[in-house]
Amino acid sequence: MTMSRPYVGRFAPSPTGQLHIGSMVAAVASFLDARAQGGRWLVRIEDLDPPREVPGAAEDILRTLEGFGLAWDGEVIRQSARLDRYADQLNQWRSMDAAFGCVCSRRELSEQGGLDVYPGTCRYGIPPDMTPRSFRFRMPKGGPLQWVDRIHGEQSWEREQVGDVILRRADGHWAYHLAVVVDDADQGVTDIVRGADLLGATAAHVALQEVMAAPTPRYAHVPVVVNDTGQKLSKQTLAQPVRVSQAAEVLADVLAHLRQAPVARDSPSQMLAQATAQWACPSLASFHADGP
Ligand SMILES: [Zn+2]
């Protein structure tokens, strides 16, 4: 018998710039889903990639969330404060032979046909005179990785499609996959609502949760906001930051993207209260219905 755990959701931005409409969609969707189910909503700053981070961005993100009425529960966790925990997890996986050292350079990997799925070069050992540059997860053999996404439905990913994902990068920084799975497990996160660009990452996370014996959260991957040329909005595609002074307009746009009924223009917290009361997790069909 499985006890159902009390709902814990989260929003986990990287401090690589200011929040834009695409990141607000993930923030608002995860907030509304948590509040509509009487759950807790956590904020975690994913600051594990110093070369890409912008000084002051984390504080700016938190101020923006506050300005939009997106009040979180408990303390904000910063991944940069949890490096020892990640090292412990890697050591544990290495001792279980669930992780291995890799000596491949980026150049070697790209010559072997792209950086997306690791070709398995080092999974059976590295030359004794070489030191690992990075560490990877040893994807266990087995049937497809399966879960039910609340928006995308039944998912089934072959393990070979995911491969031996990176856990600690050659530059010494912790990889997203390890940190996210460890943090979600440690924080008791039961529900993850995030952008559909992470659907493939979730397949890797399901494999990591299996090896950690951590429960797989429920997932809802919200279709991402794209620009006129079909690219996902991001700092790289020069998405404009959202302004607290335009919160009502931004929230109306975000709710429209999330296929929610419109709410009356009001203060951000009033608008969110109304949106919470009428929240319905969007269906995939509703995103396909408005094509050109
Ligand atoms: Zn390798």
Name all domains of the chain by residue range, CATH numbers in brackets: 8-81+188-286 (3.40.50.620), 83-168 (3.90.800.10)
| Cα 171–Cα 131–Cα 85 angle in degrees, nearest 5 | 55
Write the CA distances from 107 to 94, 110, 138, 169, integer angstroms. Answer: 25, 5, 21, 14
**Separation CA 248–CA 254 (nearest Å):** 10
pLDDT band at 292 (very low <50, low <70, confident <90, very high): very low
What is the pTM assigned to this prediction? 0.93
For residue 195, what are the β-bridge partners?
Answer: 222
235 is catalytic: yes
Contacts with 88 (C-beta within 8 Å, 6 or more apart), sequence order: none
Cα 233 to middle of ligand 1, angstroms: 32
What pLDDT does 238 receive?
A: 65
Looking at residue 72, its amino acid is W
| Cα 56–Cα 62–Cα 63 angle in degrees, nearest 5 | 85
**pLDDT tens per residue across span 177-190:** 999 999 999 999 99
**pLDDT tens per residue across span 81-127:** 999 999 999 999 999 999 999 999 877 777 665 557 899 999 999 99
Question: Is the per-residue pLDDT at 228 higher than 90?
Answer: no
Is the Cβ–Cβ distance between 227 and 233 less than 8 Å? yes
pLDDT band at 4 (very low <50, low <70, confident <90, very high): confident
Cα–chain-centroid distance for residue 286? Answer: 23
Cα 113 to middle of ligand 1, angstroms: 13
Cα 253 to middle of ligand 1, angstroms: 45
Cα 123 to middle of ligand 1, angstroms: 7
| Cα 198–Cα 10–Cα 188 angle in degrees, nearest 5 | 105
Contacts with 87 (C-beta within 8 Å, 6 or more apart), sequence order: none
Average pLDDT over residues 146-167: 96
Q: Which of 85, 123, 169, 235 is catalytic?
A: 235
What pLDDT does 226 receive?
A: 77
Question: Is the per-residue pLDDT at 78 higher than 90?
Answer: yes
